[in-house]
Structure 1
Amino acid sequence: MKKINAIALITLFLNSLTFFGQQAPIAKLKVTGKVIEKTSKQPLEYATITLRLPNNIKAISGGITNNKGEFSAEVTPGTYDITVEFISFKSTEIKGKKIDSNTNLGTIALSEDAAQLNEVIVRAEKTTVEIKLDKKVFNVGNDLMVKGGTVSDVLSNIPSVSVDVEGNVSLRGNDNVKILIDGRPSNAINITEALRIIPADAIDKVEVITNPSARYDAEGGGGILNIVLKKGKNQGFNGTFIANGGMPDNNGLSGTINYKNKKVSLFSTQGYSFRSNPGNMINETTYFNSDNSIRNSIVEPRENERFGKGYNGNFGIELAFDKKTTWTNTINYRNNNGNNTDYVFQKYYTALNTYDYTKNRTNREGSDSENIEYTTNFTKNFKKEGHKFTIDGSISTNNDDTAAIVTETGTNTSVTKLDNTINNQKQNRVLVQSDYVLPLGKGSQFEAGYRGDFSKLVTDYQVKNDGIINPNFTNVLEYKEKVNALYTQYGFKQNKLSVLLGMRYEDSNIEINQLATSDYNTKKYGNFFPSAFFTYELSDKSSTSISYSRRIQRPRGRMLNPFSNLSSNINIFVGNPDLNPAMTDAIDFGYIKRWTKLTLSSSLYYNKTTDVFQMARRESGNFVNGTPIIITSPINVATEFRTGFEFTLNYSPYKWWKLNSNFNFFQSDTRGNFVYTNFNNVVVTQNFDKITSSWFSRLTSKITLPSKIDWQTNLMYMGGQSNAQGRVLGNFSANLAFSKDVLKDKGTIAFNVNDVFNGRKRIMETYLPGVLSSRAEMQWRIRQVTLSFTYRFNKTKNERERQPKKMNDNGSEMEFQG
C-alpha cells in the first residue's frame, strides 16, 4: 500500500515540477485528511483527492487514500478547489480553499449514490451480497464454501439460484435461465459440464438479473446469470495464490497476478485441478400390460466413477490511450480430460416379483475438451459524463471429443455384447456488439446498440453394436445459429420516479441439418422484445419497482439431437429437431427496505410462457428381452403460467454474526395435450394439464469465533414438485466451512464440507397408466471435504478495488446523470 501511495505521490510531484518549471522554487505545503464511508464510518481505501486551481480543469496535485483512509498531498500556497471521489459514492467538493500553511481537512464522509444506481448495499468487510432493485450481486471472495470448488458450487450458494444434483441451474425455480460469462454467452458446448470445470477461484462475482431490460440478450425466459471473472484492478503489482486438496480427490493449484499503472494493466489467472466425483443412482421400474396388470419389474442400480483433470487460464492486457479511451484484449484457454465409468446392474423380476436374471452393463467413457477464446473491448468516454461508445468482440472454438465402450453380460446368457460410441462435437462462435450511451440532459439518457451472434455446432455421433454400425443411433447433426439484434432504450428520472423504456428486435436464422439422413430444417423468425421499468423512491431507505420484459428460449444441442447415448438400453433420451423456441412475458413487482442492521428485498413475479418445453415419456415399440424400451423426448405442446413470491434478508445482529436468507415460493400452471400415434398405430393422448407448486429456502450464517476464526453454515431445502407424469420429492442439504487468517492476514486457511449429511439427491417418481411406474434416486456427487490455503501479496484481504463504472451488456443498469 505504501508503495502504491508513493508512486502516486511521485507522479503528482513530477507533474507539479513541470507546471512550475520556469518559476523560482516555492516551499510546498502539506494537505492531509481522512475519507470514510458515512453510514458505516469505515475508512475508504483508494479514494482520490484532486486539487485544482479555480476555473481550471487541470489537476495541480492530489493523492490516494491508504488502508486507513488517510491521504496527503503537497501544493504551493494558493487557493484551490478540492474534489474527493470514490467509485459508486457521491463526490465532495471544497470550493475556494485557501492554503497558506500545512492544512488538515479533517474527516470527509462520503455517502453512497442511491440516485445513481437505486441500490441498497449491505457493507460488511467487502460486501458478500449487494441487493439492487433489478438484480443481486454476489461477491465470491468472501464465500468460504466455494474454496477449492467450481462455478457450480458458487451458483448453488447464491440467493434465488438453485443447482440440482445433475448440475442443472434454475433461477427462482425456472430452469429457462441464460448464463453469461463476462456479459457474453458461454462458448461451451455443454454449459453444465463447463460450470463443473471452471474453478471458483477465477470468479470475481455473479450477477443475478431476474427481469433483464432490452439492453440484454433476449435469451432466457427465467432471467440471466452473469459470471464475472477476475481482472486486474488495483494499482501496482499484486496477486493471489490458492492451493487445495480434498476427499474424494479435489486437488488444485491456481493463481491470479495483476499489474497496473496509468497506461497499462496486465492480468492473468492460471489454474490446474484434479477431481473425482463418485456418484450413484437407482431406478426401480414396474412395467404394466395394457389392462394395468404387472408385466415384470426391473431394479437398476448404478455406480459412477468420474475423474477429471483440467487447466484453465487467461491472459489480458488493457491499454489506456488517455483518461477516456481504453482497449482491452484477453485470451482464454481451457482444457479438460476425464474418465467416467458407469456401472449399471439390471435385476429382472417376473410378474410375481420373483428374481429372474441380472444383466450388467459397464460404460467406460473418456473425454477431451478444449476451448480457446479471444475477446476484445474498446471503450471511448466523451467529455460529458456518461457519454460513451463501446465495441466488444469475441471469437471462440470449442472441441469436445468423447469415446465410450459399453459391455453387457447377463446371468441368462453366455454372450457378451459390445457397443462402441463416439461423440465428437465442435463449436465455432463469433460475437460482435456495439453500444452507445448519450445523456440528454439532467436525469435522462438514450441508449442504442447492435449485437450479432453467429455460431455453428457439429455433433458427430456413432454407435457400433458388436462392431457393426447401428444406423438408428449414428448421425452427424449440424446446428447453425445466426442472430442479429438491435435495441434502443430511453430512461429518465423526475423527482423520485425513474423510468426506463426499451425495445429490442432479434432476427433469428436457424439451420438444423441431419447429414446422415439428409434431413434439412431451416427456421427463420423475427421477434420484438419490449421492456419497461418503473422505480419509485419511497424514502432514502426504501424503493419500489414494477417491470415488464419479453424473453425467448431457443432449443439447442441435446434437446434437438434425435440420436443419443446408450448408457441404458431400456431408458433412452431422444432429442426433437422440430422443437420451436419458447416465448415468455415476465412481470415483476419489487420492494427494498433498509434498516440499520437489516435489509429486505422482496419480489412478486408472473411469467407466461408459450410453447414451453416438456419432457414426455412413451413406449418406442422395441423390446429388450421382453422389456419395452422407453423413450424420453422434449415437446412443445404446453403453455405455462408461473406465479411466485420471493424475499431475501440480510441481517447483521452483531459485528461478529451475519445472516443471509432467501425464500422463494412459486406455482406453475401447465396446460396442453400431447397427441401421438404409438407403435400399434393407436392414437394416444397425454394430458399435461397440471397445477403444481413448490418452494425452496436457503439460510447462510457467518460467525466470527474467538481467535478470529470464521465459521460459515449453509442450509438449503428444495421443496417437492409435481408434473403431468409424476413428481420430484423435496430435499435438504447442508454445507459447513471454517477459515483462519495467518501470516499477518496475508494467508488464509479454509476447511469446508460440502453436503454434510451426504443426502443431496434427486428423487423422482413417474407413473404412466398401462405403461410403467418408476422411482429413481440419483446422487451426482457424494459428500466432499476440502482444505485450502490462500496467499496474497501486495494485496490485503477484502481491500476495495477501484474500477470504472460500466454501462454495457455485462450486467450494469441505468445510471442517471446531471
Structure 2
Amino acid sequence: MKRFQFFFFFLAALLCLAPGLLSAQSAIIKGEIRGRVVDGSNGQPLDFATVSLYSAADSSLVGGNTTQATGDFVIEAPLGEYYARVEFLVYETLTIPSINLTKGARKVDLGVIELAPEAEELAEVIVTAEKSTMQMGLDKKVFNVGKDLASQGGTASELLDNVPTLQVDVEGNLSLRGSTGVRILINGRPSGLIGSDPAAGLRSIPANMIEKVEVITNPSARYEAEGMAGIVNIVLKKDDRGGLNGSFDLIAGAPLNLGTSVNLNYRKDRFNFFVNYGLSYREGPGGGSQTNTFFRPEGTFITLQESDRNRSGINNSLRFGADYSFSDKSVLTMAGIVRRGDDDNYNETRYFDYLNDLDNPTGAVIRGDNETEEEWRKEINLSYVKTFDRKGQKFSADIRYQDDTEREGSDLFNRFLDANFDPTDMEDELQRSNNTESSDQLIFQSDYIHPFGEEGRIEVGVRGSRRNIDNDFLVEEFIDQEWMSLAQFSNDFNYDETVAAAYFIIGNKKNRFSWQVGLRPEYSRFSTRLLQTEEVNDREFLNLFPSAFVGYELPNNNTLQLSYSRRINRPRFWDLNPFFSFSDERNFRSGNPNLNPEFTDSYELSHIKIFDKGSVGSSVYYRRTNNVISRIRRVNDDNTTITMPENLLTENAYGVEVTSTYDPTKWLRLSGDFNFFRAITDGGNLEDDFSADATTWFTRGTVRVSPTKKTDIQLRFNYRAPRIVPQGRNKSLYSFDLAASQDIMKDKATLTLSVRDLLNSRRWRYLNEGVTNGNPFRIEGDFQWRVRQVSLTFNYRLNQSKKRGGNRGDRGGDYGGEGEF
C-alpha cells in the first residue's frame, strides 16, 4: 500500500505542475523558418538532410526537421535568436548564423542552401574533431567505448572487462580497483536491464548498444550511497539531432554467436523518439577442473573434479521512449525497457574419488544438469528536466517502476561408477529443481541545482525506493517411483527493502581553488523471511554519508584534487538468500540472511596532467571498510563444502593508479592503466586463518594503429597478478584481444573482425586452504567461463559519421567533476 501512496503522491505533484507548464506553453509565440537544401555541385535537391536549430544564447538544441524529396524543410520555434546546422552524409556540415524571429518578422526564409560534397582530404579533419577514447575528470573517468574494436559483437560484461580500473571475474562479477562493491547504473539510474543479478544482466546487454562508460571512484553526496568501491554508469546510445539517424549492426561469430542491434533516433519539432533493440543467440562452451583434498584422522580423501558446460540462449533487449520539449528549457521524457531471455544450459561434472593417494581409486560419479531459464524484465520511467535563464540552474524529477520475473528448471542425474571407473548396476539417481523469482521496485528521485555568485552552487535532492523480491525454490528426488521434496534444499524466501534519502551540497570556486562539501542522510530498512520455517530477520539503519572535495589548478595544465566520501554496500539478494545451489552436489553455495552491510570511508588524492598529444591521470587512494563481506568455505563431515558470505572485521586497502593516453603520431594511439594496491583483511572475529594481507597489481595496455584513413588495427593486453585472499589466493591471469576494422560503402559502413582471448588463456585459477573442526583441507582449481571468441560485425550508419579515436583537442574531457566549478 505504501508503494502506491508513494506513486500517487508523485503523480499529484506532477498534476500540480501541469497547469503552469501548459499555461506557459500556450503563451509562447512561435515563428517559422523554411528553406531548401540542394547539392552545391549540381543543384539537385537533397532528400532527408538534417536541419537542426540551436539557441544563440547557450547553443542548446531547440528543434529541427528533415528535408522532403524536394529538399524543402520547415521548422517552428519560439521567437528568439538562433543559428542552424545543416548536415547530410558525405557532405560538409554547414552552419547558418544569425537567424532572428521577432514579432515583426515571424517568418524567415533561408532560401536555397547549397551543401558541398565532402572532399577526400577532409578525412583527417574529421578524425581530429571527434571524441577521444578516454576523457578524464578528477572524480570521474569517461570512456567512449562505442567504437572500441575489441568489444564489437560482445556483451556489456566483456566490454567492461576492457575498461581501465575495472575487472570482471570468471563468474561475471564486476570490481573496481580490486573491490567488488560496485554500484551499476544505466543512464544515471538503477535499471531493469541489470536487475537483482548484475552479472547476468551485464551478459544480456549487447555491447553495440553502449555509447560510453563513466567510472566514478569517489562519488559525492548527490549519488546514492550504495557501492563502497564506486559507481559505474553505463550510457546507452541516444541522439537528439534533428531528423532520422541511427546505426544497424549484424554480428556473427564462433563459438556460435549471432545477433543484431538497432539504434534509431527521430527528432521533429518538439518531439524526439528513440529506440535501441538488441537480439542475440550465443553459445558459451567452458569448463574447468578442481582437486579437493581433505585430511582426516581416518585417511586423506581426494576428489578430482572435471566439468564441461555449454550456456546457450536467445536474449532480446528493447529500450524505447520519447522526449517532448515544452520549450528549449523544459523537457518531459517517457521511456520503457523490456528484456526477455530464454536460455538452455547443460553442465556435466565428473567426480573421481581416491583414498590416501591417486593409486587407490574408490569410485566415481557423473552428474548431468540440463537447465532451462526464462526471464522477463520490464521498466517504465517518467522524467522531467527544467533549466532556467541563469546558467547552471536546473530542476529534475524522475519516477520509475521495474518488474522482473525469472523461472529456472533443472533435470539432474547421478550416474555411479565403480573403483575401475566402469558403470555399476545401480540405477541413475534422478533429481529436479524449480526456482521462481519475482521482484518489483519503485524509485522516485528529484534534484535541484541553484547557482550563486560567479562560480558557486547549492544542490539539494531527495530519493526514495521500495523493493520486494520473492523466491520459491523446490528440489525433488525420484524415490520409489514418485517425486519427493528434499526439505533441506527447498523453501520460500521473501526480501523487502525500503531506502529513503536526502542530500545537501554546497561548493564554490575562487581563482584556482575550488571546494565542495555535502551530506546525505539515508534511512534503510530490509527484512528477510523464510516462509516455510517462519524465520524472520528485520533490520533498519539510519546513517550519515558525508563527502568533501578540494581542488587546485596548477600551472601548465596540471590539476590536483583531494576528496573524501563515506559509502555503504548493502548485501545483494543472493547474498542473503539461504538456499543452496544444487548443480554441484559436492560444492554448495549459499547466502547468509544475517549478513550486515559494509561501510567504507574512502580518501583519494588525484592529479591530471594534460599535454598536446595526450594526458596522464594518477591517484593515491585509501579505503577502510568495516563489516567487510568475504565468501568463506567450510567442509562438512561427508567431505562436501559450503561457501557462504560472512562479515569479517575490517579491510584496509591503499594503492596508486595511473591512467594515460598518448598519440605520438596521427596514425598511432597508445593507452594504458596500472593499479598497485595492498589490502589487509582482519577476519579474527571468526577464525585467525580468515585474515589476509594481499599486495598485488594489474595492468592493461592498448595499441591502436591506423595504417590508412579507413583502417584501424587494435591490440590489447590484460594482466592480473596473483592475490592473497582469506583462505588462499587467486593466481595470475593474462589475455590478449586483437581486432581490425575497415570502412566500406563510402564510409557509411564498417566491418570489424575481433578475436577475444587470442591465446585462450583467460582462465580463473585459485587455491583455497583452511581448517574445519581441526581437519585441514586444500582445494585447487581452474575455470574458464567462455573459450576464445571470434566475431565479425557489420555496422551501417544512417545519417551519421563514424566516430574514431584520436582527438588532439579533447584531452581534458569532462571537468564537471566534484569540486570543479
TM-score higher than 0.5:
yes
Mapped to 2, the partners of 1:589 and 1:348 lie a distance apart of 53
Corresponding position: 1:212 with 2:219: yes
Corresponding position: 1:165 with 2:170: yes
The residue number in structure 2 matching 1:308 is 313
Corresponding position: 1:381 with 2:402: no
Mapped to 2, the partners of 1:138 and 1:718 lie a distance apart of 21
Letter in 2 for 1:372: K
Mapped to 1, the partners of 2:259 and 2:349 lie a distance apart of 31
Mapped to 1, the partners of 2:795 and 2:676 lie a distance apart of 38
SS in 2 for 1:771: strand
CA offset digits 1:114-159 (Å, max 9, x no partner)? xxxxxxxx97742211111111111122201111111011101101
The residue number in structure 2 matching 1:806 is none
Mapped to 2, the partners of 1:662 and 1:279 lie a distance apart of 29
The residue number in structure 2 matching 1:277 is 284
Task: Choose the corresponding residue for 1:154, options 150, 159, 170.
Answer: 159
Letter in 2 for 1:196: R
The alpha-carbon deviation at position 776 of structure 1 amounts to 1.1
Corresponding position: 1:72 with 2:96: yes
The residue number in structure 1 matching 2:733 is 731
Would you say the 8 A contact 1:542–1:591 is kept in 2?
A: yes
C-alpha distance 424-598 of structure 1, shift in aligned 2 (>3 A): same
The alpha-carbon deviation at position 352 of structure 1 amounts to 3.2
Corresponding position: 1:501 with 2:508: no
The residue number in structure 2 matching 1:672 is 683
Corresponding position: 1:370 with 2:381: no
The residue number in structure 2 matching 1:191 is 198
1:409-808 equivalences in 2 (<5 Å): 409-412=415-418, 413=424, 414-466=426-478, 467-539=483-555, 541-621=557-637, 623=638, 628-675=639-686, 685-706=687-708, 708-769=710-771, 770-798=775-803
Mapped to 1, the partners of 2:34 and 2:287 lie a distance apart of 71
The residue number in structure 2 matching 1:137 is 142
Which shifted more, 774-783 or 411-420? 411-420
The alpha-carbon deviation at position 394 of structure 1 amounts to 0.6
The residue number in structure 1 matching 2:23 is none
C-alpha distance 630-429 of structure 1, shift in aligned 2 (>3 A): same
TM-score by length of 2: 0.83
Would you say the 8 A contact 1:232–1:266 is kept in 2?
A: no
SS in 2 for 1:415: coil
The residue number in structure 2 matching 1:251 is 258
The residue number in structure 1 matching 2:63 is none
Q: Give me the CA root mean square deviation.
A: 2.5
Mapped to 1, the partners of 2:707 and 2:529 lie a distance apart of 60
Mapped to 1, the partners of 2:266 and 2:719 lie a distance apart of 43
The alpha-carbon deviation at position 688 of structure 1 amounts to 2.3
SS in 1 for 2:649: strand
Letter in 1 for 2:701: L
The residue number in structure 1 matching 2:340 is 335
Would you say the 8 A contact 1:638–1:688 is kept in 2?
A: no
The alpha-carbon deviation at position 615 of structure 1 amounts to 1.5
The alpha-carbon deviation at position 673 of structure 1 amounts to 2.0
The alpha-carbon deviation at position 459 of structure 1 amounts to 1.1
Letter in 1 for 2:644: S
Q: Among all aligned residue pairs of Structure 1 and Structure 2, give the percentage whose two residues are the same amino acid.
A: 34
The alpha-carbon deviation at position 633 of structure 1 amounts to 1.4
The residue number in structure 2 matching 1:85 is none
The residue number in structure 2 matching 1:6 is none
C-alpha distance 764-350 of structure 1, shift in aligned 2 (>3 A): same
The alpha-carbon deviation at position 816 of structure 1 amounts to 6.8
The residue number in structure 2 matching 1:319 is 324
CA offset digits 1:95-115 (Å, max 9, x no partner)? xxxxxxxxxxxxxxxxxxxxx
The alpha-carbon deviation at position 285 of structure 1 amounts to 1.1
The alpha-carbon deviation at position 271 of structure 1 amounts to 1.7
Which shifted more, 659-668 or 224-233? 224-233
Would you say the 8 A contact 1:437–1:447 is kept in 2?
A: yes
1:2-151 equivalences in 2 (<5 Å): 15=32, 50=56, 59-60=80-81, 62-64=83-85, 68=92, 70-73=94-97, 125-151=130-156
Mapped to 2, the partners of 1:294 and 1:234 lie a distance apart of 73
Letter in 2 for 1:352: D
1:230-245 equivalences in 2 (<5 Å): 230-245=237-252
Mapped to 1, the partners of 2:435 and 2:591 lie a distance apart of 15
CA offset digits 1:503-534 (Å, max 9, x no partner)? 00100010111111100110011000000011
Would you say the 8 A contact 2:52–2:242 is kept in 1?
A: no
Mapped to 1, the partners of 2:784 and 2:199 lie a distance apart of 16
Would you say the 8 A contact 2:196–2:572 is kept in 1?
A: no
C-alpha distance 535-223 of structure 1, shift in aligned 2 (>3 A): same
The alpha-carbon deviation at position 638 of structure 1 amounts to 2.4
The residue number in structure 1 matching 2:234 is 227
Would you say the 8 A contact 1:161–1:170 is kept in 2?
A: yes
Mapped to 2, the partners of 1:238 and 1:616 lie a distance apart of 52
CA offset digits 1:160-188 (Å, max 9, x no partner)? 01111221110011111111111122331
SS in 2 for 1:558: helix
TM-score by length of 1: 0.83
CA offset digits 1:380-412 (Å, max 9, x no partner)? 112212111110111010111100111001113
Letter in 1 for 2:439: Q
Would you say the 8 A contact 1:444–1:816 is kept in 2?
A: no
Would you say the 8 A contact 1:512–1:577 is kept in 2?
A: yes
Would you say the 8 A contact 1:189–1:400 is kept in 2?
A: no
Would you say the 8 A contact 1:445–1:816 is kept in 2?
A: no
Mapped to 2, the partners of 1:275 and 1:377 lie a distance apart of 35
Letter in 2 for 1:409: R
Mapped to 1, the partners of 2:267 and 2:753 lie a distance apart of 32
C-alpha distance 74-387 of structure 1, shift in aligned 2 (>3 A): closer
The alpha-carbon deviation at position 259 of structure 1 amounts to 0.7
User: 5+ unaligned residues in a row in structure 2: which ranges?
Assistant: 1-28, 36-50, 59-77, 103-126, 419-423, 806-813
C-alpha distance 49-378 of structure 1, shift in aligned 2 (>3 A): closer
CA offset digits 1:547-604 (Å, max 9, x no partner)? 0000001112221111122112121112110000010000000000011112100000
Mapped to 2, the partners of 1:362 and 1:303 lie a distance apart of 10
C-alpha distance 331-815 of structure 1, shift in aligned 2 (>3 A): farther
